[in-house]
Amino acid sequence: MNKQTIEEQVASTVLQEKKRIKVGAYSFDVAPPTLATLILASKCISKIPIREFDKNITEEVFANAEDCEAFSELASILIIGAKRPSFWERFPIISYFAKRKQRKLAKRIQNQLSLKEVFLLIQAILKEMEFEYFFALTTFLSDINLLKKTREVVDTKK
């Protein structure tokens, strides 16, 4: 197994080198993880309602199948990543075609991959996102905020 150093991982992300992930008969070139991708993925995940599966699982799945569309949208966001718009993509017609690419990939995933393959694809991409750095950064910044001296309030009514 070829383990990358942190410098190699940073260089790979900065240079936006893609990684190939194979699921079933399909291979996907996955964009490197960025904070913007994490934000878009979080928005997509927030659209999936939280369900309690009390009854027969098969009935529940069929009753809530429309929510599964978010899974293919999430997979397409994780594959393409969040791209910074180029100069030309600031124009509505060009922006439309950039968003269309993501929608087409979502439809392809939805129509061609099995449920198991969609699960394995999302799982493989999430493994590559290196969430431990997100938690380390969050913890580090929280500690700085806790240690920062706050302004004292003086009671002037005395």
Residue owning tokens 């027969």: 56
**pLDDT greater than 50 at residue 1:** no
What pTM was estimated for this model as a whole? Answer: 0.68
Q: What's the mean pLDDT in 122-127?
A: 86
d(CA 153, CA 48): 44
pLDDT band, very low/low/confident/very high, at 33 (cuts 50, 70, 90): confident
d(CA 19, CA 132): 19
The distance in angstroms from the start CA to the end CA of the chain is 70
With 0-12 / 13-18 / 19 or more C-beta atoms within 10 angstroms meaning exposed / middle / buried, residue 33 is buried
Dump pLDDT digits (tens) for 48-96. Answer: 877 776 777 777 777 777 777 888 899 988 888 876 656 655 667 666 7
Token reading at 31: 């964009």
Dump pLDDT digits (tens) for 79-91. Answer: 888 766 566 556 6
